[in-house]
Amino acid sequence: MHYVLHYGQITPYLPYLMGGMLISLALSILSFTGGMVIGLFFAMLRHEGGIPARLVRCYVAFFTNTPQLVQIYVIYFGLPDFGILFSPFSAVLIGMTLNAAGYLTEILRGGLISVHQPELDAAETLNMNRLQTLRHVILPHLFRVTMPALTNQYILMTLGTSMAAIFGVEELTGRAFNINSTTFRSIEIFTTVAGLYVVVTFIATILLALFGRWAFRARVPVV
């Protein structure tokens, strides 16, 4: 139990860690955006009913009931069996996007259900076409209602980017592993990285809350 903490050995690596954090952020933002696009489309399909809705239900059930890690394993190690090769970064990005799409479909569907029928009737009375209704009636309501859940999902996804390290992407966690194997200062490096994740997600929470208030007048507590 004689262990002396040496954070001094970690400080030279801080810029290196910051660079890794940028990659983590890029990964989370890209996959969240991709997931939102797919999720929105799927939520609409799910709302319309019929055979597409059933397929979307199967998709959601599959992707929300299996671990993201194993999904990326299949993409990164499994698909080469069929001649499809991805770089680690794109494999993780695709896996995270597909996974996020599953969860975001469910969240957005919850929002779609809560759109009031009279508002849609009013849009029809004003002779709005479907695209206009979507843009001016449905989407503002949808984002205002689902903003807290979306923020939460984004935070969880930022934490989820740490599994990219397993596939050799040098993001925050990957670089922590590298530093760990050069300095053997495990406790110091992992507490530092944990602290960085806390700071990043905290800033993200505040920024997203402010953005939600500004853009959608969402009632989100800032802290």
Partner 1 sequence: MLSFIIAEIPRLFTSYNIILLLHAALVTLALSAVGCAVGLVFGFGLSLARLSKRAVFWPVKVIAFLYVEIVRRVPFLITLMMFFFGAQVLGFSFSPLLTAFIASSVISTAFVAEIVRAGLMAVRPAQIEAAEVMNFSVWTTFWHVRLPQAWPIMLPPVFSYFVLFIKDTALASQVGVLELTQAGKILTTKGFSASLVYGAVLVLYFVISYPLARFGNYLERRIGAARHSRPRSAV
Q: Least distance from C-beta 127 to partner 1, angstroms? A: 29
Among 140, 191, 211, 213, binds partner 1 (CB under 8 A): 191
Q: Six-digit token pair at 167?
A: 């596939």
At residue 198, what is the residue type? Answer: V
Q: Which is nearer to partner 1, 81 or 125 (CB)?
A: 81
Residue 36 makes contact with partner 1 by CB under 8 A: no
Torsion of CA 42, 37, 213, 201, to 10 degrees: 110
Q: Six-digit token pair at 40?
A: 């929105």
Q: Least distance from C-beta 13 to partner 1, angstroms? A: 16
Q: Least distance from C-beta 62 to partner 1, angstroms? A: 7
Distance CA 223, CA 221 (A): 6
> With CB under 8 A as the contact rule, which of the stretches 32-40, 115-123, 141-149, 161-169 interacts with partner 1?
161-169
CB 107 within 8 A of CB 150: yes
CB 10 within 8 A of CB 178: no
Enumerate residues 6+ apart whose C-beta is below 8 A from 10: 179, 183, 185, 188, 189, 192
Residue 1 makes contact with partner 1 by CB under 8 A: yes
> With CB under 8 A as the contact rule, which of the stretches 9-17, 29-37, 57-65, 123-131 interacts with partner 1?
57-65
Q: Six-digit token pair at 159?
A: 């934490």
Residue 19 makes contact with partner 1 by CB under 8 A: no
Q: Position of tokens 């957005």?
A: 108
CB 216 within 8 A of CB 144: yes
Residue 7 makes contact with partner 1 by CB under 8 A: no
Residues 116-155 vs partner 1: string with x where CB under 8 A? ---------------------------------------x
Q: Which residues bind partner 1 (CB under 8 A)?
A: 1, 3, 61-62, 64-71, 73-74, 77-83, 113, 155, 159-163, 165-166, 173, 176-177, 180, 186-187, 190-191, 193-194, 197-198, 201-202
